Structure 1
Amino acid sequence: MFYRMYRIWSLLLLGAFVVPGLRHVSGIDIYTPTEVEAVNGTNVKLTCTFSSSAPVSLRSITVAWNFRPMNSGSDESVFWYQEVPYPPNQGRFKGHAVWSGDIMRRDASITLHEVRPTFNGTYICQVRNSPDVHGSNGEIVLRVVNKVSLSEIGILAAAVGGACGVILIVLGIFVAVRFYRRKHMGNDIELQPHQWKDPTVW
C-alpha cells in the first residue's frame, strides 16, 4: 500500500515539473494578409512578418516562399533566404521575385514584379529560427486582375466625398447669390435721385 502511494505521489510530482515545461514550448508566429489583389503587369508586395521566442539573428533565420497554383498542382519554390537572399534562377518567378524583408525587424516579405495571370494562386511563407522551428505557415491568396475592383470602403469613401462636394457647390452658389443681391441693392440706393430742399423754407 505504501509503495503504491509512493508511486502515485512520484508521478504527480514528475507531472508538476514536466507540464509547466511543456507550456513554455512555443513556436514561431507568422502574420500575413489573407488575400492580395494586383493589377496585371504591376508590382505587388507579399507581406510576411513573424515573432519568435528565440533570439533572432541573420544566421539563425531561414525563409522559404512557395507557390501553389489555383488548380492545386504541386508546390513551386518562389524564394529562399538564409543569411542572404536567393532569388529563383528558373521557373515562372525567375526575374520576378525580389527580397523586400528585414530579418532584424522580423520581416520576411518579398515583392513580385510585373505579375501575370499565371501568378494566381496561394503563396506560402515559412520562417524558421533555430532552435525555434515549430509553428504554422502564413498563406496569401494572390488574385491578378485587369483592373482594380472597388472595395466597399472605397465605394463608401467615394459616396461621402461626392456628397461633401455637392454640399460645397450648393453653399458656394448660395453665398454668390447673396453677395450679388447685396451689391445690386447697394447700386439701386446710389442711383435713387436725392430731393433738394431749400434751407430757407420751413
Structure 2
Amino acid sequence: AAHTSPTKAMKHMGSFGFSLWPVAAIEVYTSKEVDAVNGTNLRLKCTFSSSSPISPLLSVTWNFQPEDLSSHEPVFYYLKEPYMPSAGRFKGRVTWDGNIERYDVSIIIWNLQPTDNGTFTCQVKNPRDIDGTIGEVRLRVVQKVNFSEIHFLAIAIGSACGLMIIVVTVVIICRHHRKKQQERTIEEKLKNIEEKEITPLED
C-alpha cells in the first residue's frame, strides 16, 4: 500500500484548511425606523465597516419592499459610479449622497409619497469582504398638515376656550346673584321678626 509522508500530509491539510478559511463579514448600519412628511425629501443614511481595504469593485444595492410585502423593487445601484433606476416608482426621485472613502453609501429620496411606505434595504459588497448584514430602514410617510387645517384647529380650540370662559362667568354671576337674594330674604325675615317683637300689646 502506498504510504503518504507526514510532510505531504501536513501540506495537504494546510491547503485544505486554507480553502475553508471563512470570508470576513461586512457590517452595514442604518436607522431602523424613520418618519417623514409627505412631499418632503429624505436622506436614507447607510454606513458600513469592512475588514478589507475598499475595493474598486465595491458595490452598493438599495432595494424597496412595499408594505403589502409584494416583490422587491430596485431603488439604486453603485459600482464604480452611481446608477439611477430607469423605471419604476423611484425613477427620477433618487440621488447618490454617499462617500465611499468615508464608508457612507447614503441616498436621497425626493418628493416622498404615501406609496413609499415600506422597507428599504441597503447591501454593500467589498470583495473579498462580501458576506455580512443587510441594513433595513422602515419608512412611514405621514400626511402634511396644511395652514388651513391649522387655522381651523386654532379657531376650534379658541372657540371652545371662549365658550368655557363664558359658561364659568355665567355660573359665577348666577351663584353670586342667588347668594345676594338669599341674604336679602334672610334680612327681611329677621326684620319682620324684630318688628313683631317690638310691637306694643293693646289693652
TM range (shorter): 0.5 to 0.7
> Aligned-pair distance for 1:18?
4.5
2:116 pairs with 97, 116, 119, which one?
A: 119
Given the alignment of the two structures, is residue 72 of structure 1 paired with residue 69 of structure 2, yes or no?
A: yes
Q: How many residues align?
A: 137
> Aligned-pair distance for 1:147?
4.0
> Aligned-pair distance for 1:26?
2.0
Cα distance in 1, alignment partners of residues 139 and 126 from structure 2: 26
Cα distance in 1, alignment partners of residues 24 and 69 from structure 2: 31
User: Please, what TM-score do these two structures have when normalized by structure 1?
Assistant: 0.61
Q: What is the root-mean-square deviation of aligned Cα atoms in Å?
A: 2.6
Cα distance in 2, alignment partners of residues 26 and 83 from structure 1: 22
Runs of 4+ in 1 over 4 A off after TM superposition: none
What secondary structure, in the 3-state scheme, does the structure 2 residue paired with 1:54 have? coil
Identical positions, percent: 50
Could you give the per-residue CA deviations for residues 31-64 of structure 1, whole angstroms, max 9, x where no partner exists?
Answer: 000001110000001000001111104x221000
Give, as a single letter, the amino acid of the residue that structure 1 aligns with 2:136: E
Give, as a single letter, the amino acid of the residue that structure 2 aligns with 1:104: E
What secondary structure, in the 3-state scheme, does the structure 1 residue paired with 2:36 have? strand
Larger radius of gyration: 2
Cα distance in 2, alignment partners of residues 109 and 60 from structure 1: 18
Partner of 1:60: 57
Q: Which runs of 5+ in 1 are unaligned?
A: 1-6, 149-202
Could you give the per-residue CA deviations for residues 140-174 of structure 1, whole angstroms, max 9, x where no partner exists?
Answer: 000000149xxxxxxxxxxxxxxxxxxxxxxxxxx
Q: Which runs of 5+ in 2 are unaligned?
A: 1-5, 146-203
Partner of 2:126: 129
Q: Is the 8 A contact 2:113 2:141 kept in 1?
A: yes
User: Please, what TM-score do these two structures have when normalized by structure 2?
Assistant: 0.61
Given the alignment of the two structures, is residue 139 of structure 1 paired with residue 136 of structure 2, yes or no?
A: yes
Partner of 1:38: 36
